[in-house]
Amino acid sequence: MQKRSRTSFILWLPLLLCITTPHLACRPTTANDRPNVILCMGDDHGWDETGYNGHPYLHTPVLDEMAAAGLRLDRFYSASPVCSPTRGSVMTGRHPNRYGTFTPNWSIRPEEITIAQLLSRAGYACAHFGKWHLGPVKTESPTNPGAMGFHEWLSHDNFFEMNPYLSRNGGPPEQFEGESSEILIDETIRFIGQTQAGNKPFFAVVWFGSPHEPYSGLEKDLALYDDLLDKFPGREVTLTSMETGRPVKRPQGAVLRERYAEITAMDRSIGTLRDYLDEAGLRNNTLLWYCGDNGVPSTASLTTPLRGEKGMMYEGGIRVPGIIEWPDRITRPRATRLNSVTSDMLPTICDVVGIPLPDRPLDGISLVPLIDGLLEERPEPIFFWTYDTSRLAGLDLQPYIDPELQAGTTPLVKMLAGRYTRNFQNVHHPEITQQDYAGPRAILAGRFKLVINGDGEEATATELFDLRSEQSEQTNLTATNPETAKNLADQLHQWQTSVLESLTGADYPQ
């Protein structure tokens, strides 16, 4: 708390400012007053896969309770329709194409400034638990969680299932027995307890391995969905075999039963964390933010009311669950349809803590005015873009990081290129040409969304949707609203130019 002032005027000044300008004056002003921050993320957890969004089968009582008590972000988006790029956007507040994290297993760049680095300099204890996927987590990696600002980490290069292999602070992988979400939350609680002994605010990033395929679950969670075994007769989906790590076809009902069991276990683990915060007297001053990293994959898209799936620019690929709890600041439950995105996390947290933003182009905005009930419409668009990496094929490109340092070590079930581990890449980008503007992309501005080549097919198609009148994205309005379509397309192209300039390394000190 602040020290006693020598005059009554100074004593009453913070209260007066809070009344007259709440957004500017109510944020904490001392280290002890600063809120704790926890960011939780599900892996491949799409917008509809929660009870509060009306899922027909899923049990998510904890997320439902958070949505009923906090700020429910009904139009929350992942910066990318796939995982690594979205995670980069959380860390940097920047679109991942700015630093070459184009798609899964493309690393971040060491010169990026992360929210963990900023909070660490501001006196926070910072830790990462779970899926990293922005480069190897081993000690020598220049993009491991420690290099990116975390004081400690228990992490995996990619995704993981039951009994996961994880690396503690970059050491050799160790196998941990148990349900993976429970393991991560136990570690998070241990870390928080240590920070309290040192009287420091904490920043914890908990990136679950669930519900990414291949799926597995505890018997008590599987039992909740036994009735799905007889549903969807004749339907089969292809996914990874838990036994061989190779593709296998299985009945859709059995697959969904396991997926939903993982989501339920993740939900319950978040409840364990919330209960601990409550018992420790930390919940009121802790900002807890949950979201997914992209939309549902094809193995689970059966129930979504949204068009598209993971990997696509339609709502089913990029709209995800989003909930913020912070009892000290969010004192009454609210739901908002304001557009927001994972790139907003860094600017929001910087605003909350009262630290300056990095001096480089950002793609997110602070949502503090939204948290305080002062923002009804986003002041600028959200841009989405999957860079067409086929453009790089055959080019003689210099690796951005020594390939040996990009080799992953933590095993996972799914085999890729004959390995049960993952290697990463990033490259020095060649001179920008018109080809670099290709790839599926979209701009979301208020009620309108312009999508170009949204499903990634070769034939480029431009589609304009009014999401407030039709969230299913079935009616293309380009013919009836050509000026809106052209204006949005021009803004999108101009933004791409800025991103490509960043991609060349122009944002980094020379």
Mean of per-residue pLDDT scores for the chain: 93
Strands 334-336 and 441-445: unpaired
Provide the pLDDT confidence category of residue 430 given band limits of 50, 70 and 90.
confident
Tens of pLDDT along 450-477? 999 977 665 468 999 999 999 999 999 9
Strands 322-325 and 441-445: unpaired
How large is the angle between the packed helices 252-279 and 61-69, nearest 10 degrees?
A: 50
Indicate if the pLDDT at residue 9 is higher than 50: no
Instruction: Provide the pLDDT for residue 117.
Output: 98
Instruction: Provide the pLDDT for residue 456.
Output: 66
Same domain (yes/no): 100, 145: yes
Indicate if the pLDDT at residue 8 is higher than 60: no
Provide the pLDDT confidence category of residue 20 given band limits of 50, 70 and 90.
very low
Same domain (yes/no): 52, 142: yes
Give the CATH number for residue 101. Answer: 3.40.720.10
Tens of pLDDT along 352-372? 999 999 999 999 999 999 999
Same domain (yes/no): 440, 377: no
Domain span holding position 209 = 31-381
Tens of pLDDT along 60-77? 999 999 999 999 999 999
Query: Is residue 485 included in any domain, yes or no?
Result: yes
Provide the pLDDT confidence category of residue 11 given band limits of 50, 70 and 90.
very low
Tens of pLDDT along 370-384? 999 999 999 999 999
Query: Is residue 10 included in any domain, yes or no?
Result: no
Tens of pLDDT along 209-267? 999 999 999 999 999 999 999 999 999 999 999 999 999 999 999 999 999 999 999 99
Query: Is residue 24 included in any domain, yes or no?
Result: no
Provide the pLDDT confidence category of residue 32 given band limits of 50, 70 and 90.
low
Tens of pLDDT along 174-184? 999 999 999 99
Same domain (yes/no): 457, 346: no
Residue 500 is inside which H or E element, if any? helix 482-503
Same domain (yes/no): 116, 199: yes
Residue 380 tokens read as: 């600028």
Provide the pLDDT confidence category of residue 162 given band limits of 50, 70 and 90.
very high
**Residue that is last in its domain, among 381, 416, 437:** 381
d(CA 361, CA 384) in angstroms, rounded, equals 15
Give the CATH number for residue 390. Answer: 3.30.1120.10
Bridge partners for 202 per DSSP: 125
Tens of pLDDT along 62-119? 999 999 999 999 999 999 999 999 999 999 999 999 999 999 999 999 999 999 999 9
Quick check: 199 and 32 in contact, CB under 8 A? yes
**Size (the chain), residues:** 510
Indicate if the pLDDT at residue 444 is higher than 90: yes
Q: In what order do the strands lie in the sheet with 382-385?
A: 382-385, 441-445, 448-452, 462-466
Provide the pLDDT confidence category of residue 488 given band limits of 50, 70 and 90.
very high
Q: How many domains does the chain have?
A: 2
Same domain (yes/no): 438, 461: yes
pTM of the predicted protein model:
0.93
Number of DSSP helices (H) and strands (E) in the chain, helices first: 12, 18
